[in-house]
Amino acid sequence: MAFRSNGPITLAFPPFRWVTRRIILAALISYLGLAVLGFVLPGLAGTLINLSMLVPDLALEREVWRFVTYPFLGAGLLSVAFALLSIWFFASSLEEERGSRWLTDYFFATTIGGGILASLVFVALGGRGGWLPFGSVAAGMWPFALSTVVAFAYYQPEAPVRFNFIFELKAKYLAAVYVLLYVAFSVTGGDRFGALVALLNAGCGYAFLRLAPRRGLRSGLSEWWFGLRNDFHRAKRRRAAKKFAVYMRKQGKDVSLTEDGKYIDPDGKPRDLNDRNWMN
Q: Which of 3, 27, 25, 7 has its CA nearest to residue 16?
A: 25
- pLDDT per residue as tens digits for the range 27-72: 999 999 999 999 999 999 999 999 999 999 899 998 999 999 999 9
Rounded to an integer, what distance in angstroms lies between the CA atom of residue 220 and that of residue 209?
13
User: CA quadruple 189, 190, 191, 193: dihedral positive or negative?
Assistant: positive
CATH classification code of 9-212:
1.20.1540.10
pLDDT (0 to 100) of residue 279: 46
Rounded Cα distance between 257 and 273, Å, is 10
Q: Quick: pLDDT tens for 157-190.
A: 888 887 655 667 888 999 999 999 999 999 898 8
**Residue 248 and residue 146: Cα distance in Å, rounded?**
66
pLDDT of residue 15: 79
The tens-digit pLDDT sequence of the chain (280 residues) is 444 555 555 555 677 888 999 999 999 999 999 999 999 999 999 999 999 999 998 999 989 999 999 999 987 888 899 999 999 989 998 999 888 999 999 999 999 999 999 999 998 886 555 677 778 899 999 999 999 999 999 998 888 887 655 667 888 999 999 999 999 999 898 889 999 999 999 999 999 999 876 655 555 555 544 555 565 656 666 676 666 666 666 666 666 666 665 656 555 555 554 555 544 4
8 A C-beta contact, residue 198 and residue 142: yes
**Distant-in-sequence, close-in-space partners of 23: CB < 8 Å, separation ≥ 6:** 87, 91, 107, 144
Provide the pLDDT for residue 132.
Answer: 76
Instruction: Answer for the pair 83, 145: CB distance below 8 angstroms, yes or no.
Output: yes
Domain extent listing, the chain: 9-212, 236-279
Question: Do 96 and 3 touch, CB atoms closer than 8 A?
Answer: yes
User: Is the CB of residue 227 less than 8 Å from the CB of residue 233?
Assistant: no
8 Å CB contact between 152 and 94: yes
